[in-house]
Structure 1
């Protein structure tokens, strides 16, 4: 019998070293290397790959097959199906990550209950007992569905239950960090255990055609805990986002082999569980007030969906030597760049002022098209001049102060028209020439200086601008 092999594995990046060290050479993390013991025989038994002997020749086939492709398995939750690209694919592996308490287990239990109406579903929990899951099911009013429950952490036992002709068509594993392979002498949640557990589960899912949903914990930086290779092993990676004290939840797709990436689904957390939000734009703008300086409505695109969201800015005198720059829902580095452009190209005095920026509703925006809306909110707060109530703003701002065109202006303006907006501040060019939104007046601008002049023209007082000596 072969002797167990010992190795030292970094718990941050998964790098393997022959001996222990205080610092990982690959990711430079301190105190992250842990000793692990690996048995020589895999779970399925038999010879290990590459251990000698002749291999079996592969049976190559053509790209076009004769078998009919099975349709996607729809969960019945439209927002989830949208992010998945139209539903679950047989044999696919989906990884769902999110902060503790954000609602991952709630979402998957509701999805499992909806799927059980037309497919066999197994819900396997390694964190909760059966009675705890039943309590949640009773609160969500899904106790009468045909979901099969089990509490287990052994991958060997789970494979024995799924790898059979009458196995479940959909399996939920909550969570992958609690699973363990008994051939590894390390605690559940370590890099080796997470990687080996996911590999065995995905292997059976591909062979049996089982759609498997894996729940993944996240680190304090917001990334899914465990080796980065875990995200490469699965077919789809979804992140469940939102503030714990805020009712809105965003399900965002960051990887999808069977559909578009960067798609989002919006949910509202209630006492009865997660409820779909059919019109997120109306929800995010529901509490918007008229005549308030420092707010601008951004017409953005999330995946294939146009979405309107309010961007709020507060510019106030600073008592500190280095003014504060606080951002929620946007990139802080991009805000610093935009403030420099407004000072250098627009002549605004922001050097001695604190700037606070917030995207209302808990949504996080990543596209550069939000630059112009952020600039409008900052200028509005600085001058006290409100952006017109029924105006949306979008456009990318360059380092020379120019406003660049962005993609899909028609979809942005069409969504704004549905919600009663009558005007738009947009880049000069594609938005002005190609737009078919006849009911929206477009103010096409070419640089940030024109944005400042247009806001100044809507007020009786001038905007404070630095003179040439002050800028030097």
Structure 2
């Protein structure tokens, strides 16, 4: 007679990951309603792998200086832009979550990993389908092993036997365990399988890459706790009908979170863009001496790399009771704030004007250094006077109209001059927003 498997019920908040043995209509942790989901855990489940502890017995407290580390160095992926975002490559035993919208290129990017023995666990495509994709992309490598298996226990057994340097799980929502009730992709299954893979990574030193799906709200599918469990969260974004892809780090325990990798989707896969300014500035780089109304070249720092982008503004008379403020690639509240500063400091009658601001190339400007470029673009469009040719701007604008210094000025100036921009507008030569008018054509 088969042994009956005993189970116990737990309730997990699908938004914040709060756990409870009883159900709540309102999550006690995050306060959201109807987010507690039940899943059953087997009481007979096998113990999970114990993480490597550097020779220290369990429960023993030791000095930090006495702990021996087994991490010898980072593992390069062979993809420079990916290594940049990771902080130099994968740390042995690191668990990375790569998320993005369907069709954005997550699998294509990971199929291009090089320099390491990789086990690619495919739960969404068959080996034949992956072979067709690899042939189309011109990928012919013997370091990539395809495993068509979704049961987590069998996946772990195979990985331990092969002993690769990296494991790709495509995707975490497709793997499952018979120790947990529920279909693949459920909160209980995702949490348990992720925990098993994390402990595998910490025990063996194998780097694990989890591919995550995106829900209709644009967030990573599964429990919010998934983001807290892994070491690094990467997000691949881009317009489906455009070829530009941006890889951003949302969390990184072993590196920076402000770096951005730039790729271009081609028929040969994801190609690195070593000079992002060429993409975001477009034809403007071919003729930096040209000038147009409402268009300004600004230098933005993405992590440690200076990038030139074109900020475009359009100011027109409003025919509605409430003038419109539309921002693409810029925070809406920042646009409203800067519009108010322009109206107050320069006495511009913007109260009856529609203002539209857009960043060229689909780039998103989040740092304050883009303030001055936004203000100058609006000013140029309103006065119908183009910015002087070969001008590049950067600087933070305060509520009183002062231009504040931003970090990395020397690096920004060097990048701008390298691309042919000789007139630099920043806090080093202009202290007030009212003085920026001199950079407009007469």
Q: Could you tell me the TM-score, scaled by structure 2's length?
A: 0.90
Correspondence 1:378 to 2:378 = yes
Other structure's SS at 1:266 match: strand
Specify whether residues 257 and 384 from structure 1 end up closer, same or farther in structure 2 by C-alpha distance, changes over 3 A only: same
> Is the Cα contact below 8 Å between 1:122 and 1:170 reproduced in 2?
yes
Deviation at 1:261, TM superposition (A): 2.1
Q: State how far apart, in whole Å, the 1-side matches of 2:293 and 2:187 are.
A: 50
Residue pair 1:264, 1:303 contacting (<8 A) in 2 also: yes
Which residue in 1 is equivalent to 2:395?
A: 395
- Give the corresponding residue for 2:153: 156
Change in Cα spacing, 1:220 to 1:331, as seen in structure 2 (3 Å) is farther
TM-aligned CA deviation for residue 82 of structure 1: 1.3
Q: Deviations over 1:49-106 (max 9, x none)?
A: xxxxxx9543747535667742322122111111111112211111111122111111
> Could you give the per-residue CA deviations for residues 372-410 of structure 1, whole angstroms, max 9, x where no partner exists?
111111111111111123111111111111111100100
Is 2:220 the partner of 1:201?
no
User: Does structure 1 retain, via aligned residues, the 8 Å contact 2:127–2:146?
Assistant: yes
Distance 1:102 1:59, change over 3 A: same
Is residue 296–residue 377 contact of structure 2 (8 Å, CA) maintained in 1?
Answer: yes
Residue of 431, 434, 439 corresponding to 1:449: 434
1:3 Cα offset (Å): 3.7
Distance, in Å, in 2 between the alignment partners of 1:178 and 1:97 is 14
Task: Report the CA distance shift for 1:393/1:62 in structure 2 as closer, same or farther (over 3 A).
Answer: closer
Look up the match of 2:280: 284
Native 8 Å contact 1:171 1:213 kept in 2: yes
Query: Secondary structure, in 3 states, of the residue corresponding to 1:101?
Result: coil
1:241 maps to 2:253: no
Q: Unmatched 5+ residue regions in structure 2? A: 50-56
Within the candidate set 201, 211, 214, 2:210 is matched to 214
| Corresponding residue number in structure 2 for 1:86 | 88
| 1:228 alignment counterpart | 224
Task: Tell me: CA distance 1:130–1:379, structure 2 relative to 1, closer, same or farther (3 Å).
Answer: same
Change (3 A) 1:358 1:420: same
- The answer to whether the Cα contact below 8 Å between 2:48 and 2:199 also exists between their aligned partners in 1 is no
TM-superposed CA distance for 1:25, in Å, is 4.8
Give the direction of change, closer, same or farther, for the CA distance of 1:269–1:56 in structure 2 (3 Å limit): closer
Aligned to 1:339: 339
Residue deviations 1:141-176 (CA, integer Å, cap 9, x gap): 113433100122211111111234x32111011111
Mapped to 2, the partners of 1:222 and 1:136 lie a distance apart of 26
Counterpart for residue 182 of structure 2: 186
Contact 2:174 2:184 in 1 (8 A): yes
Aligned residue number for residue 74 of structure 2: 72
What residue is the counterpart of 1:120 in the other structure? 117
**CA shift for structure 1 position 313:** 1.2
The alignment's C-alpha RMSD in Å is 2.4
Per-residue CA deviations over 1:83-130 (Å, capped at 9, x if unaligned) read 11111221111111112211111101111xx23xxx321000111121
Distance 2:157 2:368 in 1: 49
- Residue 286 of structure 1 aligns to a residue in which SS? helix
Residue 157 of structure 2 aligns to a residue in which SS?
Answer: helix
Distance 1:214 1:67, change over 3 A: closer
**Counterpart of 2:408?**
408
Structure 2 residue 18 is the aligned partner of structure 1 residue 15 = yes
Residue in 2 that maps onto 1:462? none
Distance in 1 of aligned mates of 2:189 and 2:85? 29
Structure 1 unaligned spans of 5+: 47-54, 433-443, 460-472
Change (3 A) 1:254 1:35: closer
Output the CA distance in 1 between the equivalents of 2:320 and 2:335: 19
CA deviation after TM superposition for structure 1 residue 338, in Å: 1.0
1:295 corresponding residue in structure 2: 295
Distance change (3 Å), C-alpha of 1:67 and 1:409: closer
> Could you tell me how far 1:212 is from its partner in structure 2?
0.8
Question: What secondary structure sits across from 1:237 in the alignment?
Answer: strand
Once the two structures are TM-superposed, the CA of residue 19 in structure 1 deviates from its matched residue by: 4.7
1:235-384 matched pairs, under 5 angstroms: 235-288=231-284, 290-384=290-384
Note the C-alpha offset of 1:20. 4.5
Number of the residue aligned with 2:109: 107
Task: Please give the per-residue CA displacement for 1:241-267, whole angstroms capped at 9, x wherever unaligned.
Answer: 211122111111222222222111111
Q: Could you say which residue in structure 1 is the equivalent of 2:65?
A: 63
The structural deviation recorded for 1:314 is 1.3
Alpha-carbon distance in structure 2 between the residues aligned to 1:15 and 1:86: 34
Match of 1:469 in 2: none
- Alignment correspondent of 1:425: 425
Does the Cα contact within 8 Å between 2:40 and 2:188 map onto a contact in 1? no
